[in-house]
Amino acid sequence: MNKIILQAGAIPFVFDKELKVMIITSKAFPDRWVLPKGHIEESHSPQNTAAREAFEEAGIHGVVSDIPVGAYDYHKFNRNYHVLIYMLKITETLDSWPEQTFRKRQLLPLERALEVLSDANVREIVKDAADLYSS
């Protein structure tokens, strides 16, 4: 039985007359649009991991929600993953960041981000989280 690998990710967002979400391309599959996420290291909380991955993968800093807004499971390269997703209110967008040569990023209106995101589970979490944050 495979061990489940825990990850944390972020829904990076801003309100600019409307809710906008930043999405990035996958490093392994560059035609797929995803959210920043990564492994939770022993010395880091899930929230710290979400913030770190948003910086490394998308070149942004922000404020992470205290509790996750969703979670999903996936299987890749013969491994099982469980991902906790947090909201991240973008406070700074950097011109250069660690993974900029591997990834593209887009800040899109919510509806467009939902059309472009590659994974149905992720789309559902983003949609539900947006409903919570806009109500």
Q: Which pTM does this prediction carry? A: 0.94
Q: What is the pLDDT of residues 18-77, one digit of tens each?
A: 999 999 999 988 999 999 999 999 999 999 999 999 999 999 999 999 999 999 999 888
What is the rounded CA–CA span in Å between residue 3 and residue 135? 38
CATH of domain 4-134: 3.90.79.10
81, two tokens: 């993953």
Q: What is the pLDDT of residues 67-99, one digit of tens each?
A: 999 999 998 888 999 999 999 999 999 999 999
Determine contact, residues 86/11, Cβ cutoff 8 Å.
yes
Q: Name the residue ranges covered by the structural domains of the chain.
A: 4-134
